[in-house]
Structures are given as C-alpha cells and as structure tokens.
Amino acid sequence: MKTILILLLAFTLTSLKIVDKTDFKNRSTKWLISENSSLIVNGSTNISKFSCTILRYPKTDTIQISLDKTNNILLSGTVNIEVKNFDCNNYMMTKELRKTLKENEFPYLHIKFISLKEITNITQKSNMKGVVEIEIAGVA
C-alpha cells in the first residue's frame, strides 16, 4: 500500500524579539532555535491523521532574517532533524513514519527556510506562514 504524507511543521522558537518589519529594515536579524526546542509534525496518510514530535531539539541553530528591495521577508538557514528522534506516541506509527522517510538511508530531514509572509507579535503564541524547502528521503 502506498502511503502519502502531508506534513505541517511547527517549531518552538526561542529568543525571538522581532515584532514587525521595522525591527530589521536596515539590518539583518537572527532567530535562535535553541537546544531543547520542540518540533511538531502534523500530517495525514491515505489511512489516518497523525502527530509526531521531537520533544528536545538536540542543538542550537540560527535563522537569518532580512528584507529584500521590495520589503519581502527573506530567511536563510537550514535545520537538520534526525529522523530517529520522531515520536508519534504509537509504536507502529513511529515505525511507519521512519520507514517512509527511509531513516536507514537518509537519517536526516533537512528544512531550508526561504521566506515569511508576515511577522506577527511573537511574544504571544501565534502561527506564521512562510516558504520552506524540505528534503525528505533525499528528495527536495
């Protein structure tokens, strides 16, 4: 049976102090994804929906934020996530996710940050929409 995955990613980012575009109009700003941040992947297959987590991101990564000439928000930075760290709170689902992501052949899932649609007040819990490139099982 062929499994189709649809993934939504959500990081718990720390040290985020940007509220609007004026904060980085004339300079570049960094976001810190700190060690022990969490990652939640919500998705669905042709059979069911699922939610898998990485409760503790094992390292610190930095995402660079800047504006282009037309005030679009640009991001640069990549996060490399070990597939073995995903936990779907269900042994069979976790095993199937790791198999689908070809953990033995491609132990890392790579997320390259490209752009954001807008910056919201990040001192409160909120969603941000943007563009990322995800490399899964060697395919971007």
pTM > 0.85:
no
Residue 53 has which token pair? 């987590």
> How does pLDDT run along the chain (140 residues), one tens digit per residue?
334 444 444 444 433 444 445 555 556 677 777 787 888 888 887 888 888 888 887 888 888 888 878 877 788 888 888 999 999 999 998 998 899 899 999 999 888 888 777 665 555 555 667 788 888 888 87
Number of residues that make up the chain: 140
Q: What's the domain count of the chain?
A: 1
> Residue 39 falls within a domain, yes or no?
yes
Q: What is the pLDDT of residues 58-85, one digit of tens each?
A: 888 888 888 878 877 788 888 888 999 9
> Residue 1 falls within a domain, yes or no?
no
DSSP-derived secondary structure letter, 133:
E
The set of residues, in sequence order, having a beta carbon less than 8 Å from that of 94 and lying 6+ positions away, is: 52, 86, 87, 88
DSSP-derived secondary structure letter, 103:
T
> Residue 74 falls within a domain, yes or no?
yes
Residue 87 has which token pair? 């936990």
- 124: β partners: none
> Residue 131 falls within a domain, yes or no?
yes
